[in-house]
């Protein structure tokens, strides 16, 4: 059965690459020429103080941030087509700062038309409006920098960070803190399960899934969020059916479903990083934790026991991510593991407290400000750690690693761990 799942997943990945290559080769658009495009805004990919990036069909458009676009707006666009080469198989078609005319605002359409023709866009717009309100509430109780940081940690809005802060978080290896991920899904599911503990099991899972679905849209439906949502849903479904689940197989099935739905995800950096990090934790995290538990059992190392779990998971992730990061970005920092260990103990408390702050910001603002004041030093600590490790050039690796070497290194790491016997490991 295990071999079957491995074969199935490998088949789907290879099929996704071939399908995406076929789709990309099945039409030809001549670059460096002006084109006319008309359609509805299907996805808002990025929005910050400098630009807005959105998608219509298979075209990515970058424009000014203040034109007031929303999902579902019908646009007429004229601009010069530019081709961005992602890799040998995948190209993206871009229009950079083209001429844009809003033909019809989505909000100007009748409510009946919105529900019948674009129900998902209607739901997305409502949830994104809620996200905007939540961000404003955080600005009311925190200073701007801390509001942007906790907004990223809870809502995944990394675009609100200043360019300097963004660069420091990236250099220190802490940028993932302001990207909505599986940790956010766990946070939402834990709070939901706690609040609904008096309901029947079926209703509890049903309401929890509904709230997690809303949060996934709130956080932008990025690959890590979608992956975590599907994985959690599969685990809950198995529990309702009285079946046991193996985490690795759940991850493989989740990845397969995502690639079947969108083969181009195989080229998404966020999908690659999220999937690889989760696989590393599931496959190596437990074994590394057992190894380090033996080390910390000695009195001389006993004080390190409280960081054992965080260190094991961080090391497991870095083992697989470092080769991948060198392939994608051509650079990474070996010190990022220590930065992550230092901030790990405060991440969960800050996120839980942040949710409480948001709740009381609607109910009793002075109390929300009081709680915000208490957790502000923790946010300041995260800033300090990112600045401290970003200032070091020691530990930085800068070179491009070809794909075949990435897979070779991964293969050696997997082989090494299969040979480890815990009784002989020390």
pLDDT above 50: residue 26 = no
- What's the mean pLDDT in 228-246? 72
- In terms of pLDDT, which residue wins out, 379 or 422? 379
pLDDT above 80: residue 10 = no
Provide the pLDDT confidence category of residue 27 given band limits of 50, 70 and 90: very low
- In terms of pLDDT, which residue wins out, 374 or 241? 374
* pLDDT of the residue at 425: 44
* pLDDT of the residue at 167: 80
* pLDDT of the residue at 283: 81
CB atoms within 10 A of CB 227: 24
- What's the mean pLDDT in 195-213? 77
pLDDT above 70: residue 302 = no
Beta-carbon contacts of 17 under 8 Å, excluding residues fewer than 6 positions away, are: 89, 263, 266
SS3 268: coil
pLDDT above 50: residue 163 = yes
Full-model pTM: 0.72
CA dihedral sign of residues 405, 408, 410, 412: negative
* pLDDT of the residue at 416: 83
CATH architecture classification, 22-108? Beta Barrel (2.40)
Provide the pLDDT confidence category of residue 286 given band limits of 50, 70 and 90: confident
- What's the mean pLDDT in 152-156? 80
- What's the mean pLDDT in 138-159? 82
- What's the mean pLDDT in 155-173? 77
First to last CA, the chain: 33
Provide the pLDDT confidence category of residue 25 given band limits of 50, 70 and 90: very low
- In terms of pLDDT, which residue wins out, 286 or 297? 286
Q: Are 136 and 358 in contact (CB under 8 A)?
A: no
pLDDT above 60: residue 406 = yes
Provide the pLDDT confidence category of residue 401 given band limits of 50, 70 and 90: confident
Most confident listed range (114-123, 283-292, 369-378, 402-411): 369-378
Quote the CA–CA distance of 392 and 160 in Å, as a whole number: 25
Q: Dump pLDDT digits (tens) for 314-342.
A: 778 888 888 888 888 787 777 887 888 78
Q: What percent of the chain has pLDDT over 90?
A: 2
* Residue extent(s) of CATH 2.40.50.140 domains in the chain: 22-108
CB atoms within 10 A of CB 295: 15
Per-chain mean pLDDT for the chain: 77
- In terms of pLDDT, which residue wins out, 97 or 397? 97
Q: Dump pLDDT digits (tens) for 31-40.
A: 567 888 888 8
Q: Dump pLDDT digits (tens) for 351-389.
A: 888 888 988 988 888 998 999 999 899 999 988 988 888
Nearest to 392 by CA among 172, 204, 156: 172
- In terms of pLDDT, which residue wins out, 198 or 85? 198
- In terms of pLDDT, which residue wins out, 193 or 346? 346
* pLDDT of the residue at 377: 92
Nearest to 43 by CA among 52, 55, 53, 51: 55
Q: Dump pLDDT digits (tens) for 123-137.
A: 778 877 888 888 888
- In terms of pLDDT, which residue wins out, 236 or 164? 164
Provide the pLDDT confidence category of residue 12 given band limits of 50, 70 and 90: low
Quote the CA–CA distance of 36 and 56 in Å, as a whole number: 12
Token duo for residue 141: 């109780």
């Amino acid at each position: 059965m295990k071999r079957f799942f491995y074969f199935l997943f490998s088949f789907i990945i290879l099929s996704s690459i071939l399908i995406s290559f076929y789709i990309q080769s099945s039409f030809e658009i001549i670059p460096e020429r002006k084109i006319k495009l008309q359609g509805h805004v299907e996805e808002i990919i990025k929005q910050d103080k400098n630009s807005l990036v959105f998608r219509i069909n298979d075209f990515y458009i970058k424009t000014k941030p203040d034109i007031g676009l929303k999902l579902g707006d019908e646009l007429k666009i004229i601009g010069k087509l530019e081709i961005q080469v992602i890799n040998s198989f995948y190209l993206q078609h871009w229009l950079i700062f083209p001429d844009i005319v809003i033909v019809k605002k989505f909000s100007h359409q009748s409510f009946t038309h919105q529900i019948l023709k674009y129900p998902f866009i209607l739901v997305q717009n409502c949830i994104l409006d809620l996200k905007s309100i939540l961000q404003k509430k955080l600005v009311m109780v925190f200073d701007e920098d801390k509001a942007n940081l906790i907004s990223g940690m809870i809502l995944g809005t990394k675009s609100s960070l200043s360019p300097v802060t963004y660069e420091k978080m990236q250099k220190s290896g802490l940028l993932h803190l302001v990207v909505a991920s599986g940790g956010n899904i766990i946070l939402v599911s834990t709070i939901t399960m706690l609040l609904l503990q008096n309901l029947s099991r079926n209703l509890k899972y049903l309401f929890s899934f509904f709230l997690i679905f809303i949060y996934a849209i709130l956080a932008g439906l990025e690959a890590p969020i979608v992956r975590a949502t599907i994985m959690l849903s599969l685990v809950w479904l198995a529990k309702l059916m009285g079946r046991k689940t193996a985490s690795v197989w759940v991850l493989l099935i989740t990845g397969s479903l995502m690639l079947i739905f969108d083969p181009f995800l195989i080229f998404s950096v966020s999908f690659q990083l999220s999937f690889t990090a989760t696989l590393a934790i599931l496959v190596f995290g437990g074994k590394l934790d057992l190894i380090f538990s033996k080390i910390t059992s000695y009195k001389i190392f006993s004080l390190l026991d409280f960081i054992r779990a965080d260190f094991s998971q961080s090391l497991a992730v870095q083992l697989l991510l470092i080769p991948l990061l060198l392939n994608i970005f051509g650079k990474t920092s070996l010190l990022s593991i220590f930065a992550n260990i230092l901030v790990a103990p405060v991440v969960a408390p800050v996120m839980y407290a942040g949710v409480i702050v948001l709740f009381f910001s609607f109910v009793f603002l002075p109390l929300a400000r009081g709680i915000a004041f208490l957790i502000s030093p923790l946010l300041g600590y995260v800033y300090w750690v990112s600045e401290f490790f970003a200032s070091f050039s020691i530990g930085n690796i800068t070179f491009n690693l070809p794909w075949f070497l990435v897979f070779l290194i991964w293969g050696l790491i997997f082989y090494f761990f299969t040979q480890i016997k815990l009784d002989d490991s020390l």
